[in-house]
Amino acid sequence: MFDADGKAVSELSLPSVFSAALRRDIITKAVVAQQSHRFQPQGRNPMAGKRTTAESFGVGRGISRVPRVGGHGPLSGTAAFAPGTMGGRQTFPPVTFKRTAKLMN
Protein backbone atom coordinates (compact mmCIF):
# COMPACT_ATOMS: atom_id res chain seq x y z
CA MET A 1 0.00 0.00 0.00
CA PHE A 2 1.17 3.53 -0.74
CA ASP A 3 0.37 6.79 0.99
CA ALA A 4 -0.59 10.09 -0.68
CA ASP A 5 3.09 10.95 -1.23
CA GLY A 6 3.77 7.66 -3.06
CA LYS A 7 5.83 6.01 -0.31
CA ALA A 8 5.34 2.35 0.59
CA VAL A 9 3.42 1.99 3.84
CA SER A 10 2.59 -1.71 4.05
CA GLU A 11 2.36 -4.88 1.96
CA LEU A 12 -0.57 -7.18 1.25
CA SER A 13 -0.38 -10.86 0.48
CA LEU A 14 -2.16 -11.69 -2.77
CA PRO A 15 -4.43 -14.72 -3.15
CA SER A 16 -2.96 -17.78 -4.84
CA VAL A 17 -5.11 -17.22 -7.95
CA PHE A 18 -2.80 -14.38 -8.98
CA SER A 19 0.16 -16.74 -9.18
CA ALA A 20 -1.63 -19.21 -11.50
CA ALA A 21 -0.34 -19.70 -15.04
CA LEU A 22 -2.00 -17.77 -17.87
CA ARG A 23 -4.32 -19.81 -20.10
CA ARG A 24 -3.89 -18.30 -23.59
CA ASP A 25 -6.70 -20.44 -25.01
CA ILE A 26 -9.22 -19.10 -22.49
CA ILE A 27 -8.07 -15.52 -23.05
CA THR A 28 -8.44 -15.95 -26.82
CA LYS A 29 -11.91 -17.45 -26.43
CA ALA A 30 -13.01 -14.56 -24.20
CA VAL A 31 -11.69 -11.95 -26.65
CA VAL A 32 -13.35 -13.63 -29.65
CA ALA A 33 -16.64 -13.86 -27.72
CA GLN A 34 -16.53 -10.13 -26.95
CA GLN A 35 -15.58 -9.18 -30.51
CA SER A 36 -18.40 -11.27 -31.97
CA HIS A 37 -20.96 -9.08 -30.19
CA ARG A 38 -20.14 -6.25 -32.62
CA PHE A 39 -21.58 -8.07 -35.64
CA GLN A 40 -24.94 -6.91 -36.92
CA PRO A 41 -27.38 -9.53 -38.12
CA GLN A 42 -27.62 -9.56 -41.90
CA GLY A 43 -30.50 -10.70 -44.03
CA ARG A 44 -32.30 -10.32 -47.32
CA ASN A 45 -35.94 -10.01 -48.21
CA PRO A 46 -37.18 -13.56 -48.89
CA MET A 47 -38.95 -12.32 -52.04
CA ALA A 48 -35.91 -10.47 -53.44
CA GLY A 49 -35.38 -11.47 -57.06
CA LYS A 50 -38.62 -13.46 -57.14
CA ARG A 51 -41.04 -10.65 -57.96
CA THR A 52 -41.25 -11.39 -61.66
CA THR A 53 -43.46 -13.23 -64.12
CA ALA A 54 -40.55 -15.19 -65.57
CA GLU A 55 -41.21 -18.81 -66.48
CA SER A 56 -39.15 -21.42 -68.27
CA PHE A 57 -40.10 -22.30 -71.84
CA GLY A 58 -39.09 -25.89 -71.16
CA VAL A 59 -37.18 -28.09 -73.57
CA GLY A 60 -37.25 -28.32 -77.35
CA ARG A 61 -36.73 -24.65 -78.27
CA GLY A 62 -32.97 -24.56 -78.77
CA ILE A 63 -32.32 -22.22 -75.80
CA SER A 64 -31.40 -22.79 -72.19
CA ARG A 65 -34.11 -23.64 -69.70
CA VAL A 66 -33.56 -20.45 -67.67
CA PRO A 67 -36.80 -18.69 -66.68
CA ARG A 68 -37.51 -15.83 -69.08
CA VAL A 69 -39.74 -12.77 -68.90
CA GLY A 70 -42.70 -12.91 -71.25
CA GLY A 71 -44.68 -10.17 -72.93
CA HIS A 72 -43.60 -7.41 -75.31
CA GLY A 73 -40.97 -4.71 -74.95
CA PRO A 74 -37.26 -4.43 -74.38
CA LEU A 75 -37.15 -6.88 -71.45
CA SER A 76 -39.26 -9.62 -72.97
CA GLY A 77 -37.32 -12.83 -73.39
CA THR A 78 -34.55 -11.85 -70.96
CA ALA A 79 -33.58 -14.28 -68.22
CA ALA A 80 -34.80 -13.51 -64.71
CA PHE A 81 -35.53 -15.12 -61.34
CA ALA A 82 -32.66 -17.61 -61.48
CA PRO A 83 -29.33 -17.02 -59.69
CA GLY A 84 -26.72 -15.57 -62.03
CA THR A 85 -29.23 -13.57 -64.05
CA MET A 86 -29.67 -9.81 -63.89
CA GLY A 87 -32.17 -9.05 -61.16
CA GLY A 88 -32.35 -12.68 -60.09
CA ARG A 89 -32.22 -13.99 -56.58
CA GLN A 90 -29.01 -14.70 -54.69
CA THR A 91 -27.88 -18.31 -54.59
CA PHE A 92 -27.27 -18.46 -50.84
CA PRO A 93 -28.36 -15.14 -49.30
CA PRO A 94 -27.42 -14.34 -45.70
CA VAL A 95 -30.11 -15.39 -43.26
CA THR A 96 -31.39 -13.39 -40.29
CA PHE A 97 -31.48 -16.34 -37.89
CA LYS A 98 -27.74 -17.05 -38.12
CA ARG A 99 -26.14 -16.91 -34.68
CA THR A 100 -23.33 -14.36 -35.01
CA ALA A 101 -22.65 -13.88 -31.28
CA LYS A 102 -20.35 -16.46 -29.75
CA LEU A 103 -20.99 -17.48 -26.15
CA MET A 104 -18.50 -18.45 -23.48
CA ASN A 105 -19.14 -21.08 -20.86
- pLDDT one-digit tens code per residue, 31-62: 999 999 999 999 999 999 999 999 999 999 99
pLDDT, residue 33, reads 96
Residues in the chain: 105
Hey, how many other C-beta atoms are within 10 angstroms of the C-beta on 33?
Answer: 14
pTM over cut 0.85: no
- pLDDT one-digit tens code per residue, 85-104: 999 999 999 998 999 999 99
Q: Which of 53, 91, 57, 92 has its CA nearest to residue 73?
A: 53
pLDDT, residue 1, reads 85
Q: Provide CB contacts within 8 A for 66, sequence distance 6+.
A: 56, 79, 82, 85
In 11-95, where do the E strands start and end?
none
Map out the domains of the chain as residue ranges.
49-57+66-87
pLDDT, residue 93, reads 95
